[in-house]
Structure 1
Amino acid sequence: MRAIKYLVLHCTATPQTTTIESIKDYWKRVLGWKNPGYHFMIKANGEIVNTFPIENIANGVAGYNTPSIHIAYIGGVDAKNNPLDNRTDAQKASQIKLLKELKLKFPTAIITGHRDFPKVNKACPSFDVKTWLKQINF
């Protein structure tokens, strides 16, 4: 297993009704990626879907993928594609559950948002991860 330094939270920047298959198709067909962007995606109903083995390197944050596991919730934008933290309660609960599980496996990993990496100019995951972790006493 590779050394994991980061557990990175993302949003898909799509409507909450977007399917995982259409997101994966976009990565492959439009972006030309061989590997997906996230290891896990969380549907609006809270279902956690493992979309890529954590042993493999995903395309979540340019320059930081080797030491990272990427977790995205489906959503993160409003009807006009503006950033919006529209996580459902089920998605938040699933994020917490998954982060707890991953922290047991990788206790020194830093939980952070995509936007918190250097030279990243996007709102992803559409909320402040550090503030949220404090609010939930994580």
Structure 2
Amino acid sequence: MRFINLIVVHCSASRCDRCYTENDLTTDHLRRGFSDAGYHFYIRKDGSIKSLRPLEKPGAHARGYNAHSIGICYEGGLDEHGRSADTRTDFQKHSLRVLVMTLLRDYPAARLCGHRDLSPDLNRNGEIEPEEWIKECPCFDAATILTEPPPPNPGHL
């Protein structure tokens, strides 16, 4: 089994008013030359968690960090006008929280972060600030996953 020290959250950078399935994501990654989907998990708008890549296999989601990380992506990240936004549904928030908690229990040495938090610290002040982000992904602060209040009655998941 691989040593895991990061759990990296991404968004698919797809519009919230359109469907972007795990098959769409995999097809797009194959077109880009990946051997499969780059993420280990994909969370659909309805909260369903899709396993895309075995955990034993390094991902292809965060250059320079793939060997020791797990990649989670949620469907969305762009509003209906194509602008970056936290478009997570209550179902996605619930599933993301449960998945992250489970992975942190299985990999207690891992740190949770968003893809944007792996951008280079250009001014070397020890903090990755918005003007340094290579991407806005995942369009919210991933560190809040464990501290934000659970969504009200996410339904039967």
Q: Same fold (TM over 0.5)?
A: yes
In structure 2, the residue matched to 1:18 is 20
Within-5 A mapping of 1:1-138: 1-16=1-16, 17-29=19-31, 31-119=32-120, 121-136=134-149
**Secondary structure of the structure 2 residue equivalent to 1:80:** coil
Deviations 1:31-83 (A, max 9, x none): 11113221000010000000110110111101110010000110010123211
Q: Which contiguous aligned blocks of 4+ residues in structure 1 show a shift greater than 6 angstroms?
A: none
**Unaligned segments of structure 2, at least 5 residues:** 121-132, 151-157
CA RMSD of aligned residues (A): 1.5
The structural deviation recorded for 1:108 is 1.4
What is the letter of the counterpart of residue 83 of structure 1?
S
Query: Is this contact kept in 1: 2:9–2:73, CA < 8 A?
Result: yes
What is the letter of the counterpart of residue 130 of structure 1?
A
- Residues 1:4 and 1:136: Cα distance change in structure 2 (over 3 Å): farther
1:116 & 1:63 partners in 2: Cα distance? 13
Deviations 1:87-109 (A, max 9, x none): 00000000011011111110110
Query: Is this contact kept in 2: 1:61–1:114, CA < 8 A?
Result: yes
Query: Is this contact kept in 2: 1:47–1:94, CA < 8 A?
Result: yes
The structure with the larger Rg is 2
**Secondary structure of the structure 1 residue equivalent to 2:55:** coil
2:38 & 2:83 partners in 1: Cα distance? 21
Query: Is this contact kept in 2: 1:35–1:58, CA < 8 A?
Result: no
What is the letter of the counterpart of residue 70 of structure 2?
I
1:32 & 1:89 partners in 2: Cα distance? 33
**Secondary structure of the structure 1 residue equivalent to 2:77:** coil
What is the letter of the counterpart of residue 67 of structure 1?
H
2:145 & 2:99 partners in 1: Cα distance? 15
2:37 & 2:146 partners in 1: Cα distance? 26
Structure with the bigger RCO (C-alpha within 8 Å, sep 6+) is 1
The structural deviation recorded for 1:136 is 4.1
1:136 & 1:63 partners in 2: Cα distance? 32
